[in-house]
Structure 1
Amino acid sequence: MGDVISTNLDEGKREMITARTNAVMAEFGRFYEQQYAVALFNSVRYEIEGGGNTQTQLLHRKDPLKNKSIFSGGLFQYLEESKKWRSRFLYVGDSYNISLYESKAAHDRGLHSKGVINCAGYRALTSMEEYLGLLNNSLSDTKAKVASAPFLKCPTQFPLILWHPYARHHYFCVMTEKEQKKWHAVFQDCVRHSNNGLSEECKVATPAFTDALRLYRQAKGHYGTWDLMCGNQAQILANLVMETLHPELKNLIVPRLKGKLQQRQRDWMLISDAVYRQVVSQTKTQHEALAQVCEVERPRLDSALRTDMDQIITSKEHVSGKIRALVLPRVEQLVRSKVQPYIHSILEALMEPTSRGFSEVRDILFRELVEVSKNTMNDRSSEKLGEHMDKISMLAFHPVKMQSCYEKMEALNLEGLQQRCDVSSPSVFIQRAQILMRQQMDNAVHTFEQLVHQSLDGHSGEDFCKIIQRCQDRVLKKYDYDSSTVRKKFFREALLQIIIPYMLKQLSPSCSPDLPKFKELIFEDFSRFILVENIFEEVVLQSVSKDIMMAVKEAAVQRRHNLYRDSMVLTNSDPNLHLLGEDTIDWAGQFGGVKGDRQGGEVANRKRKQIVSMIHLDGMPLPYESCQEVPGVDGIPEESEGQTEQDLETEKPVNPIQHVPIEKEPGSPDSLNEIRDLINPVLEVVEKDGSQLTNGMLLLEEGDEVKHITTVTEIVPRESPNKVDEELDTAQIEQFLEEEQCVSAIESAIQQIEIAIQEDPNENLSEGAIDSDGEFTQTSTNSSPLHHDDSGFQSPANENVEEVEPQPITDEVVDTEQVMLTLVEGVKSSIDLDAKAPCDASEKKSEVEIES
């Protein structure tokens, strides 16, 4: 790998990369310094004049993921160095960066990770076909066949691939489809969060950066949205450099690569990653220096602004009027002919999937709140309430739970806008709407927590259910109002992002040459805060904003997508609600749980506070660490997770000695041998110490028919009650001999009965008589099911069982009464001997049983 990079990226090419990066950063720096002063002017003016933002009904918390982690678990990763698949433990913290560890034990011990993946600009794929399509497009001069195999083979059918246009690709795989869906949802959430990296709390730096980037690209002829405006400032600037540098390097290096197509693709990916890392390092250093220079200059600019704010505003309004008079006729003509006819169709395309996504958020919120109410009704203890509230508090950041909401937004289709309005793809709007869904869900859950916590003071468990129901209704009403406000704002911003770049692209050729003359109207002291390029864009924006606002109002009046009209202002019914805290409530700690800082620091917090269900439980012998091998714990249970628990409960435990399943309850047979055993049962009779089978009795349930008996000899040492002497004394030996003689007498009597029957085979025997084969006939169907027929020899176990009245015996049958009397007397004498002599507990003998 090192040879390929060092060979194709020699010192000359690295110097070219450095020079190109410096040139882009220098040009971008000029735009940034200009826009920084303008952004500071807008911020101070907004601070002085005040804003007219709508008061939201839901509360907002600043740091919802404090002491939380998103997900962790084991899967397989492909290593470029060894070209092999290895098991890895992945940990996704509150920063949404993916940390890779050699094992779970290494993570628990706090060892350094093998690597960290920042998912900004990546795409999470679950298909090798989709990945091959993107990979083949990376080398435009060589097209692979559709059936061509990639340079690696996935060991399972469930791959997970993180693809980036410039950076290194990452390959993972799991064992089941269910695991794949869970990890894919987590990876998508990481990408979504990383792409939304610029903080909106920076009222000066963030607007200055975005405006400078937009003006830089417009100067290069690129209008409209940009897919790679994702990540932090250094990553965005690196993407800006690679936008032009990457094609040039490809033309220089790819023709020199050798080998098959797959090998060339592999080598080019490694080279591209090395270039990207070098560019990111340089852009990070230079942007930090640029930002530091502007921050040093900020106090002086701020002082000048606050001193001359009125004069600056007056001067700007004067220049704006002049520019508006020049360009307004052209703008209105463009709006009437090429913008107004398409506003409603674009808005409808945006509203349909967005409204479905927010409606799905409301449905999930409602179901979870109802579930909390049901659980509280079943168990009204404060500990259980704290447990359920602790689980629901992180609902918005649960990728699997929120996946159905995000999928609704994936249906956004802006077909035709890519060419007409220079919209690269709808991914910018999709990810923005998904971020808003997550924010609204978190605001609703946080408000519900605050209302419940506020209402619980002084109430017992009997009132919990009523309190939760009342808070639920209030939160849903607030969510309906806020979600409508957020969606209308999103629609207006999306329409402006689509329409304004298109209008600027159409108007710039005719209007830009006339703009420099308006700089003469601006005082030199105010020239840093008033730029004619910005004023021109504001004039264009104001000219079309009225049409966009009217289209959104008409959509709200139709009520097709559950939008409130602007005239409907929901007053705040909870004036004291906004005075509550913004921090997350520690439900587990306040209602009987154990706080995270008492369980051993950060590692214990990671285990307890993981949002998505745990992947691996300590002590579970798993062949690989998988998120589906054990039921989820310490998180919100995902869909079908309960089914997994039921499946685990139905598994039969295995006897560690005999290695056979321990039957819990009767069930249907699962194999052919079990079915055969049910048809022809086999009894295993354990013979201890050589005792005779005829001395024991086989107890069968009614209807059982034994086809085969297997004798298993097992030597078990006998123990006397006092465990002193293991040998039989003389009295026990004599008793044993007498019992043997009794058994011999019984056997001889049975032989005499058989001989007597064989002498008269033509006689019919009634129930209880013996057939010609020496076996007793089957029990009569009229006999009681509780009665066990011992064919004349009553077992002690059946002494108290209700007996059926015996049928009379005919005179023709051989008189066996005398024989039976003799046998009974012999048995009684044996019993008397047993009672007189002390007998070992392990040598008690049952009466003889004959199969019926």
Structure 2
Amino acid sequence: MGDVVSSHLDENKREIITARTRDVMREFGETYQQQYAVALFNSVRYEIEGGGTQSQLLHRKDPLVDRSIFSGNLFQYLEENRKWRNRFVFVASSYSISLYESKTAHDRSLHPKVTINCAGYRALKSMEEYMDLVNNSLPGVKARPSSSPFVKCATQFPLILWHPYARHHYFCVMTEKEQTKWHAVLQDCVRHTNNGLSEDCKVLTPAFTDAVRLHRQAKGHYGTWDMMCGGPPQILANLVMETLHPEMRSLIAHRLKGKLQQKQRHWMLISDALYKQVLRHTRAHYEALVQSCEVQRPALDAGLRTDMDQIIASKDHVQGKMRALVLPRAEQLLLASVKPYVDSILEALMEPTSRGFSEVRDVFSRELVEVSKNTLNGGGKELLGEQMERLSMLAFHPVKMQSCYEEVEQLNLDGLQQRFDVSSPSVFVQRAQILMREQMDNAVYTFEQLLNQSLEGQGDEDLCKTIQKCEDRVLKKYDYDSSTVRKKFFREALLQIIIPYMLKHLSPSCTAELPKFKELIFEDFSRFLLVENVFEEVVLHSVTKDIMMAVKEAAVQRRHNLYRDSMVLTNSDPNLHLLGESPSVDWSTKFSPDDPEGEGEGGAQDEGPRGGLAAAKRRRQVVSMIQLDGVPLAYESCMEVPGVEGIPEEEGEDYGMRCKLGTEEEEDDDDDEARMLPRTPKSPDSVHEIRGLINPVVEVEHPEAEEGGTNGAEPVSATVLLEDGSVEEVRSVTTLVEGGDQRRVSPQDMMKRLMGKDRKQEVTDIEQAIQEIDLAVQEGGKDTDLEADLGQTSSKTNEGLNEVGPQPIRNGLTGGDGNGEEVENFGEKVAVQISDVVCEI
């Protein structure tokens, strides 16, 4: 396939790609430098003047520290040899997807085979949906409705990551439940990376977004943009590909040879190589651009703080002059083309968004009900740590949050998209989902802090009541915060839809008159006050009043569950906000029943290559131990591989062995989350394991073995507490002697050690049993029912020493043929053994 790429992307075309990228970055760089100074001015002004509303819920600073999202096995399609291979997939807290040869390779910190940044991708689980997108990738080449895809999926449960420019990735699993879970994880990766620009960067982020928007508007592209996703280098690469990709497709598409499927495969490889080359250039250009702006920042900041009052006064003067020019035209456009549609747009946004936030509230309440039930039934605080550890990651669990996300995915702007140039509602859907996740995490974190404060010095009897009080307190604050967040989201969404539409219609008549306003700005302030930005702010102010009124009227309707703007809860709970400065609660160690001294995972007793607190926390996963309905999946793809007919084998590889190895390593992982899962019973693999199951053996260090004693003075218990908490009887004890051989304790010694305090009564019972056996032996030849009675007696005698129950006597204990002589010999031998025990006692 490399020949296909090199033959179509020759040196001449690569120079064209480099030149186009350099031109776009030069134009963007000029705009970015201008917007950088404007963004710095707005940031300093906001810092001085203040503003904004205070949330009622606490905010967690770094929720995913020392966490990972998910890991497991998938089948990946390799385009190089057109075969499917089993891969271990690890999703880090950054939501990047890493594919390894095996779990062992990941544990050894080897480099992954592939690392996928999901920005700009779409997660699909239908081959038909994928083929619809692929068939539209080559305009002019029509595919038949019955044409088969060029990728033959090994199972009927595919998972596909599709990108308009970059390489596609194909996976499949064995069950529908796995497909649903993995699809939710992949969607969460896409959702997170598409929201890649951090709002904490008060200068870089607004400067970049405004520069991209103004650059596209200069090219005639108004409205929302689907490819505004990922980090700045990726967004810039998408900006270049927006014009370069169609140009290169027109040059190359007609030269592709072969059948339709082959043409599609070749074009995707070429497109991926094209995108990678553009991305390398945009990354280098952007880093140099930011560095040059950051060098000038101290001087700009000092000048701003010195002349802030004069700059604000100058801006207000220019805005007043420009408002007289723009407002009459803007009001006419609003009245004719915008106001009639504001209510329809708002209704289309509010219905699914309000249902989604309501579902967030319900999911949070249901999880707390489960915490109360499990804690009450499980014994109080001992299990509370495990329950709260799972609850703390609820917001980042894509499977549990899927019901909330699905409500917002029903957002439909049909009929309004074409009018207001909205490319797709996905921009608003993903933004609402991110806000829902933030509100869920804020609610969970606030509940954790309140519960931790309430539980200090409190007994178990009021635990459920305490949980209920904290829940009620958090839900009230969630209702207020979710209402505030939704109203802000509705206002921003309306502005994103309406402002580009108005700028598109007002710019042709107003742009020619804007240069005269530059004369009103002092030269020293010209870097911070640009007439283009002032013009957009004037248009924004002309629309804001109507949008605020529309949202305020919607808040009155009860069905949207919105608080009125008059209900302001500023500083309503100052004591709670003091808790926000406290560190997050480590529930896994706070009430850990296995660690009463508070050492936690990776304490002094947890040493070795996998020990240590950091290593233990790195093994914690958000979705690793979650199964549907609390039951493990009956059939996981990482445990069994399809047959040869479905997936071609790789030469020299044993898939069954590799999958088995991966499964065993999964089971060896002893983190907190894995312990809570019920383990699937496994059959023994060797004769020694079978004997160990039938006759459990306990190894103990004998205190008197070094002194030459044959038997210890202290009695040994007949039961053993296993690792899973169950109690099991044993009939043999192996004594460990330092520097010597191990020897197995006889049944007589075991019975002797198992004697209780009242030994006289037990000796009397044993003597009576001996007499009954002697009497039975003497009458053995006369009574036909003796064999059955003796079988029952021997069964009772061996009870507690052999867990497999009574076994039939086949060849006798003396090698006979099963006649009465065998019974007599057996009875005599039992009597002798019991007599020896009595003598020893």
Matched to 2:554, the amino acid is A
Between the aligned partners of 1:544 and 1:65, the Cα distance in structure 2 is: 39
List runs of 5+ in structure 2 lacking aligned partners.
Answer: 604-610, 642-658, 691-747, 749-778, 791-818, 831-841
Between the aligned partners of 1:842 and 1:188, the Cα distance in structure 2 is: 75
Between the aligned partners of 1:564 and 1:611, the Cα distance in structure 2 is: 34
Between the aligned partners of 1:837 and 1:460, the Cα distance in structure 2 is: 63
Matched residue SS, 1:59: coil
Matched residue SS, 1:259: coil
Matched to 2:516, the amino acid is K
Q: 1:256 to 1:382 in 2, by over 3 A?
A: same
Q: 2:385 maps to what in 1?
A: 386
Q: 1:218 to 1:796 in 2, by over 3 A?
A: same
Matched to 2:639, the amino acid is L
Q: 1:391 to 1:333 in 2, by over 3 A?
A: same
Matched to 1:6, the amino acid is S
1:834 is displaced (CA, Å) by 6.4
Q: 2:436 maps to what in 1?
A: 437
1:654 is displaced (CA, Å) by 8.6
Alignment of 1:93-104 (within 5 A): 93-104=92-103
Matched residue SS, 1:87: strand
Matched residue SS, 1:376: helix
Q: 1:347 to 1:409 in 2, by over 3 A?
A: same
Alignment of 1:163-178 (within 5 A): 163-178=162-177
Q: 2:250 maps to what in 1?
A: 251
Alignment of 1:61-76 (within 5 A): 61-76=60-75
Matched residue SS, 1:77: strand
Q: 1:99 to 1:620 in 2, by over 3 A?
A: closer
Alignment of 1:361-400 (within 5 A): 361-400=360-399
Matched residue SS, 1:241: helix
Q: 1:467 maps to what in 2?
A: 466
Matched to 2:625, the amino acid is S
Q: 1:524 maps to what in 2?
A: 523
Q: 1:621 to 1:425 in 2, by over 3 A?
A: closer
TM-score, normalised to structure 2's length? 0.76
Alignment of 1:331-370 (within 5 A): 331-370=330-369
Matched to 1:394, the amino acid is M
Q: 1:88 maps to what in 2?
A: 87
* 1:605-661 deviation line (CA, Å, top 9, x unaligned): 3323444427999x9993355999999997889xxx99xx6xx87x8969988xx9x
Where in structure 1 do 4 or more consecutive aligned residues deviate above 6 Å?
614-617, 626-637, 651-657, 792-796, 833-837
1:601 is displaced (CA, Å) by 5.9
CA contact (8 A) 1:76 1:87 kept: yes
Matched residue SS, 2:559: coil
1:797 is displaced (CA, Å) by 5.6
In structure 2, which of residues 631, 640, 645 is the aligned counterpart of residue 623 of structure 1? 640
Q: 1:25 maps to what in 2?
A: 25
Q: 1:313 maps to what in 2?
A: 312
Matched to 2:467, the amino acid is I
TM-score, normalised to structure 1's length? 0.75
In structure 2, which of residues 619, 631, 642 is the aligned counterpart of residue 607 of structure 1? 619
Q: 1:689 maps to what in 2?
A: none
Matched residue SS, 2:491: helix
CA contact (8 A) 1:56 1:482 kept: yes
Alignment of 1:466-505 (within 5 A): 466-505=465-504
1:838 is displaced (CA, Å) by 5.0
Q: 1:822 maps to what in 2?
A: none
1:535 is displaced (CA, Å) by 0.9
1:279 is displaced (CA, Å) by 0.6
Between the aligned partners of 2:3 and 2:144, the Cα distance in structure 1 is: 28
Between the aligned partners of 2:670 and 2:558, the Cα distance in structure 1 is: 42
* 1:673-702 deviation line (CA, Å, top 9, x unaligned): xxxxxxxxxxxxxxxxxxxxxxxxxxxxxx
Between the aligned partners of 1:268 and 1:837, the Cα distance in structure 2 is: 86
Q: 1:231 maps to what in 2?
A: 230
Q: 2:764 maps to what in 1?
A: none
Between the aligned partners of 1:107 and 1:653, the Cα distance in structure 2 is: 28
Q: 1:834 to 1:196 in 2, by over 3 A?
A: closer
Q: Does 1:586 align with 2:586?
A: yes
Between the aligned partners of 1:837 and 1:258, the Cα distance in structure 2 is: 89
Q: 1:635 to 1:321 in 2, by over 3 A?
A: farther
Q: 1:628 to 1:531 in 2, by over 3 A?
A: farther
1:139 is displaced (CA, Å) by 0.6
Between the aligned partners of 1:205 and 1:293, the Cα distance in structure 2 is: 13
Q: Radius of gyration: which is bigger?
A: 1
Q: 1:839 maps to what in 2?
A: 825
- Report the count of equivalent residues: 681
CA contact (8 A) 2:72 2:90 kept: yes
1:473 is displaced (CA, Å) by 0.6
CA contact (8 A) 1:100 1:114 kept: yes
Matched residue SS, 1:529: coil
Matched to 2:43, the amino acid is S
Q: 1:102 to 1:546 in 2, by over 3 A?
A: same
1:469 is displaced (CA, Å) by 1.2
* 1:388-410 deviation line (CA, Å, top 9, x unaligned): 11110000000100011001111
List runs of 5+ in structure 1 lacking aligned partners.
Answer: 661-720, 722-738, 744-791, 800-832, 845-852
1:81 is displaced (CA, Å) by 1.7
Matched residue SS, 2:31: helix
Alignment of 1:382-781 (within 5 A): 382-570=381-569, 572-580=571-579, 581=581, 583-592=583-592, 595-596=600-601, 598=603, 599-600=611-612, 603-613=615-625, 622-624=639-641
CA contact (8 A) 1:68 1:94 kept: yes
CA contact (8 A) 1:71 1:614 kept: no
Q: 1:24 to 1:600 in 2, by over 3 A?
A: same
Q: 1:596 to 1:335 in 2, by over 3 A?
A: farther
Between the aligned partners of 1:223 and 1:310, the Cα distance in structure 2 is: 34
Between the aligned partners of 1:652 and 1:466, the Cα distance in structure 2 is: 42
Between the aligned partners of 1:328 and 1:16, the Cα distance in structure 2 is: 45
1:266 is displaced (CA, Å) by 0.6
Between the aligned partners of 1:35 and 1:655, the Cα distance in structure 2 is: 69
